[in-house]
Amino acid sequence: MTFPVDIASHSRQQDFYFGPDFLLRRHDYHVEAARGFAAAQYVSVPATVEGITLPTKRRAYMRDKDLQPIRSTDGLDRYIRFVIFRKAGV
C-alpha cells in the first residue's frame, strides 16, 4: 500500500499481511526517519475491547533483502506489549 504524501506515516510504502481470520499478522515498512532501514513487525495475542480486535503484542525486527526478519544475535528477542485500558464511565 502506498500512502498519499499528505498522510503522516513512518513510511509511504507499507505491506500488510493478514491471516485467514482477517486479523493483521505482519506489517512491513521502511523506517524513513532512521535512514530507511527495512523493518518487519509481527503482531499477535489479539484482544477484543468493545467490539474492536487489536493485537496486544508486537515484535519488530530489521528485515533482510529476502524479506526475512533479522533476529537478535544474542538470542533475546525484544518486544513491546500493549495494554488496553478502558476509561472509567465510558
Number of neighbours of residue 10 by Cβ within 10 angstroms: 13
55 is written with which cell numbers? 493485537
Residue with cell 478502558: 86
**pLDDT tens profile 58-90:** 888 888 889 898 876 665 555 444 455 555 555
pTM exceeds cut of 0.85: no
62 is written with which cell numbers? 530489521
**pLDDT tens profile 2-48:** 999 998 887 889 999 999 999 999 999 988 777 778 889 999 999 99
69 is written with which cell numbers? 526478519
Q: What is the pLDDT of residue 80?
A: 44
Q: How far is CA 25 from CA 6, 28, 38, 67, 82, in A?
A: 26, 10, 17, 15, 15
Q: What is the pLDDT of residue 22?
A: 93
The amino acid that residue 1 corresponds to is: M
